[in-house]
A and B are shown apart, each in its own frame.
Chain A
């Protein structure tokens, strides 16, 4: 009797306690709010062989953020953090635009590919530097990447000479502003990166290794995991993602702005990761949650525009969302809030909570 009664209750609680429940709920809520204010919000139509619609726009404009957030997720899973992604975004966009402006023929595909290669190479190198500072020299991640965050903005402005570089190159424009197979090209890039990352981390042992390094770097090194190399690789991957995002952002507007490109994207990316339920303490991560988190942020921005609230207040709403999500995820807060509610009917479920959480 007792066991039968318990069955459905546990599963309902499991749905609510699933780590993707809250971000998904927030996203659905935001989308519903949009449908309420703009009736045709969910419609997607085919025009000139391209898909158009608000949902497509959210995915398209959110693409760079999702990319950066995917890289950030892995870094945070190792217990680190990468503040330099915004600067890397600016540097990679600046370098590729500088390379393209130096080309004789800006339309040449090989020229653009070289520019992309050079920019991504530099991004990868910067990521390696971050990784070596963190894993090799043993500097706190937040500080190690702070160096590049400060110096990198200067570097980006040095590359563009403080100007806004504009390019006129059709192949380059494709990366962030073009369409392929009816879908925005940027979204396809994100899907590809997400697919590869998910395959490497969830179908191979890599994800487990990353999580074990994040759980306890020393213990995992003693267990025979090369934690040092793994951490360097993760920072390099994060910078590479940021580099691709930088190409997308600069290609979408066909120009590079060392000052403002990717400004505050590191904070948005960290926010996306946190909303997605990845703990900042490291040790576990959720790629799906991160993508949801990034979509929540982008939808929030879109919603504010479409409802007609002054866009300047976006930051206020972000502050509210961050606070709410953090409070919901804080065990201390949950305990305090839930205890108060649950104490009246029964004291037992509250004490059962941590036991359920351990395997999950």
Chain B
């Protein structure tokens, strides 16, 4: 018992200080990037540039929120990019080719995404297959369905939908945001509440810490794991809807490799890939870092688009190294 106290004491206080370290580092990086950008380029240091990062990455934010849930349980979801593409495709084809109302299409799309996530979650839990392979199959399935619907890009011309897409919500100081940003922020708030203040959220962290212990503690492991993949599926579908609002079209090759962006955002946000540790706020910061890299590269003008990938790779490397250092010191 005394040894318990001895080991629990220092490690608990260490954890208290280090818990927020990854998130703080990401926040610091974000501030540094913004400062450097502001000093280097004219017209960079304005509120609208920040809001544009949100506008251009609202869909990624929503997808990354879903991915955070999955990664916190120690799993991974490779199907998100494909589900985003499938959602844009279904939205576009139903509205343009079949004349459905958006009010019917959007719930249907969200239902499809959630159902796909539910099925994958069930396969992962009940048949004990690795999440990596199951979601890979899900990715193939969703991309395949896209191509079955059509191989060409379908543009959306439905009046109500385009009106929503073009709505600019004015903010003080002649700034504006799009409807997508509002939806994305709402998703972030709801998800943060679920993760940090509900029983489901505590279960997610517990399973990520140790599934075996969670099971022995009598937590509903099956329900939580399946719920997590369903949430990810729902978020991907919603991300797809936002993507179709952003581009006003559906295309089977949309969001190619978005699963990597989402995973990168979660990792840069300080969530441990082994699960059990991380914050939703970190993911938001991670998405902003990725968005700001693109903004800086477009401001620079002379750098080509592939530098984005190289920078993201480097950042991933640095942050994973950092995670490794922290977890090594902790143990």
Contacts and interface: CB of A to CB of B under 8 A. Distances in A.
Interface of A: 81, 137-140, 142-144, 146-155, 157-158, 161-162, 258, 267, 270-271, 274, 280, 310, 312-319, 322-323, 326-327, 330-333, 336
Contact of B136 (A146, A270, A317): A270
Question: Which 4 pairs show the lowest CB-CB distances between chains A and B?
Answer: A151-B313, A154-B309, A312-B147, A316-B144
Nearest to A81: B132
A336 to B, nearest CB: 8
A138 B129 CA distance: 24
Given A312-B148, A313-B144, A313-B148, A333 B127 contact: yes
Interface string B140-163: 110111011001000000000000
B188 interface: no
B312 to A, nearest CB: 6
Interface string B116-142: 000000010011111011101111110
Interface in B53-70: none
Given A150-B313, A154-B307, A332-B127, A319 B144 contact: yes
Given A139-B324, A316-B141, A153 B309 contact: yes
B132 A143 contact: no
B312 A151 contact: yes
Interface stretch (B10-18, B192-200, B222-230, B259-267): B259-267
A139 B320 contact: yes
Interface string B35-77: 0000000000000000000000000000000000000000010
A322 B324 contact: no
B136 A147 contact: no
Interface in B282-317: 304-310, 312-314, 316-317
B191 interface: no
Interface residues of B, number: 45
Contacts of B314: 151
A153 B320 CA distance: 19
Contacts of A314: 144
A267 B136 contact: yes
A336 B138 CA distance: 22
8 contacts: A137-B324, A150-B260, A151-B317, A157-B309, A280-B130, A322-B137, A330-B129, A331-B128
Contacts of A139: 320-321, 324
A130 to B, nearest CB: 12
A146 B306 CA distance: 16
Nearest to A138: B324
A247 B136 CA distance: 27
A99 B231 CA distance: 48
A144 B273 CA distance: 11
Given A313-B147, A319-B140, A143 B267 contact: yes
A317 B134 CA distance: 15
Given A312-B148, A319-B141, A162 B324 contact: no
Contacts of B143: 315
A333 B310 CA distance: 42
A318 B316 contact: no
A153 B306 contact: yes
A147 B129 contact: no
A139 to B, nearest CB: 6
B144 A154 contact: no
Contacts of A155: 310
A148 B313 contact: yes
A147 B313 CA distance: 5
B247 interface: no
A310 B274 CA distance: 40
Nearest to A334: B127
Contacts of B252: 312
B136 A149 contact: no
Contacts of B320: 139, 143-144, 147
B141 A151 contact: no
A315 B306 contact: no
A274 B304 contact: no
B310 A158 contact: yes
A67 B314 CA distance: 28
A82 to B, nearest CB: 13
B148 to A, nearest CB: 6
B140 A318 contact: yes
Nearest to B148: A313
